[in-house]
Amino acid sequence: MLERTIWHGRYKIIRLLGHGGFSVTYLAQDRDLPSNPPCVVKHLKPISSDSATLSIARKLFDKEAQVFYRLGQHGQIPQLFAHFEENGEFYLVQEFIDGHNFSQELTPGKRFGEEEVVKRLQEILEALAFVHQQRIIHRDIKPQNLIRRRTDRKIVLIDFGAVKEIGSLAVNTQGQVSSTIAIGTPGYMPNKVR
């Protein structure tokens, strides 16, 4: 049934890629561009459809989309091509990164030498340094959110659904960052956050 679904009059859904708490991600084709290139469509559903909630969700969605457009300027972060709203639900259209996730390179029992570890960390930290320069925190760094791109073998940082702008974080009187919601994946986030 997904193959027949077309969103925003141009994005033909091919298959499900994944789903999280408030979103579902699909592989799609952009029917408006020559050769119908692949893209990723992330479908975000607000918790409630009442007008006040939708108004707040719309503002947050537009603000986050602007962050994604900015981050996509880096070669190791997928570009955001479009964002739109239909029937009170929100959609992000991003560059599809053809490759495999980093967890496939982490074979149980396989040990990496120091040089290999340093090389992999440098690749990952290059993209993260750019993210931090933009005053953004990713908040869900894990092997599944790192893709080894097939064309140039570079590591690409994906899934910015949990990003946080540093300027909007609250700091308490002891100088600690406070947060009301823990975001991340157990096993990859600090224990104090959980």
Instruction: Give the integer Cα–Cα distance in Å for 28 and 96.
Output: 9
Q: Which two tokens stand for residue 129?
A: 């340094």
Q: Could you tell me the strand order of the sheet in which 11-19 lies?
A: 6-7, 11-19, 23-30, 38-44, 89-95, 80-86
Catalytic: 152?
A: no
User: Of these residues, 30, 50, 140, 159, which one is catalytic?
Assistant: 140
Contacts 24+ apart (CB under 8 A), 128-134: 128/157, 130/71, 130/74, 130/76, 130/77, 131/71, 131/74, 131/77, 131/157, 134/67, 134/70, 134/71
Helix/strand/coil for 36: coil
Enzyme catalytic residues: 140
